[in-house]
Amino acid sequence: MATTNLPLNPFVSNRYHFGMLLGVADLDTEQGYHRGKGWLHNAWMHGPGAVWGLAVEVTPDNNEVVVHPGLALDGNGRELHVGERLCVDLGRWFAERRPEDLDVTEDADGSVRFTVHVRLCARQCLDRPVPAVSETCSGSDDGTAYSRTVEQALPELAAGPAPERPLGPYPRLRHLSGQIGTVAPGDLLNALRRAAALDTIDLAPEAGPGALFPVDGDGCVVLAQVDAHLQPGQDRWTVLADTTVDNAVRPAHVRTATIQELLFAPPAAQPFLATAPEPPRARDADLTGTHLRVTFTRPLNPATVSPEAFTVTALRATGWTTVAVTEAVPDDDGTAVTLTLRAAPRVRPVRVVVSGAGPAPLLSADGRPLSGSEADAVDVASGADAALLITATEGRS
């Protein structure tokens, strides 16, 4: 089948009138208008990514890289549909079509190792030739012409690992999403609107303002990375069993309904999110002489435990007085810290403030900052101080 380019013009449409004579250009305009509108929307509003399926695997028995059925959008908004398995002979590709920039390592036994990534690319081909008048009103010479255009999605191998996926456009919005915990709720909507407005002003097609689509080039979608190991033979290269495929390098689209549920469903309806580890919290405190022991719900990172992370005060007749902390020693399991005070408080209550915010908060072993006390059950991603009150003259509060 011969290749072709499909008509594409999302901003020019026919204006039909009674008795209008229609020709090929008019029909191309009709198709190009609707096709262009759809592709333009897909490219700018969704971007490239897999929609469903398209798993990639290597079958050493057949020497092939296999792309399974599925659907994707490419960088130019085109729908890439694979209706049946598509295969690339990896050994033959290496022998006949490997690019010059492919980095190949040779083992002592003569086998070779290299990394490629699998891309899915749009191709348009002509099909179904039918009799046609090749020269209108010029002798009426009969000929044939293709009557169908077939949109195909074909895999290809490209040298090197899959390209790193940058965060992409909208830097202000991405910054805002990471700072939501520090933005006052009343200001968040205005901040969101402002960031979105400024980010969209900065967007432009890679090929310049005159281009229709965001990417400049073929817009192929990366599906997987293949770390290949091939063994030479008499007449071909054979794929070895330790060749691996990573399908997680691809961009992917998530249904809007799913995004809505992730944003607004209660935590109980989100078992994956509900299993995320909770932040550490201060549990309780007890005071005996000059030793004050504070316990926590989760092990702490010992590097963050210091006297500066604790503030101890005692209520005297003249008001709250600071009691100096000279040493802070975590237990072996990290769930408790024993403070040594410069002097034993002889009055009650005694208040202990444990740092979860500020420049030097206590962190859990997995890096989450202290989020208040267990009794308050707060969950502040950026951390919150915990305040514990000791009212008994000796022992636990």
Q: What's residue 271's pLDDT? A: 54
C-alpha 219 chain-centroid distance:
19
Condensed to tens digits (0 to 9), the pLDDT of residues 290-310 reads 999 999 999 999 999 999 999
- At residue 165 the predicted structure's pLDDT band, cuts being 50, 70 and 90, is confident
Residue 252: partners with Cβ closer than 8 Å, 6 or more residues away: 49, 50, 51
Tokens, residue 300: 């702490």
Residue 188: partners with Cβ closer than 8 Å, 6 or more residues away: 180
- At residue 238 the predicted structure's pLDDT band, cuts being 50, 70 and 90, is very high
pTM as predicted: 0.65
CATH 3.90.1150.10 holds for 282-396: no
DSSP string for 313-351: EEEETTEEEEE-EEEEEE-TTSSEEEEEESS---SS-EE
Residues 238 and 91: their CA atoms lie apart, in Å, by 6
Give the H or E element holding residue 40: helix 24-41
Condensed to tens digits (0 to 9), the pLDDT of residues 172-211 reads 887 777 655 555 656 777 888 888 899 999 999 999 999 9
- Beta-bridged to residue 230, according to DSSP, are 112, 239
Residue 227: partners with Cβ closer than 8 Å, 6 or more residues away: 113, 115, 243, 244, 246
CA end-to-end distance (rounded Å), the chain: 83
C-alpha 224 chain-centroid distance:
15
Q: Where in the chain is the domain with CATH 2.60.40.1220?
A: 282-396
Residues composing the chain:
397
Sign of the C-alpha dihedral, residues 130, 4, 250, 67?
positive
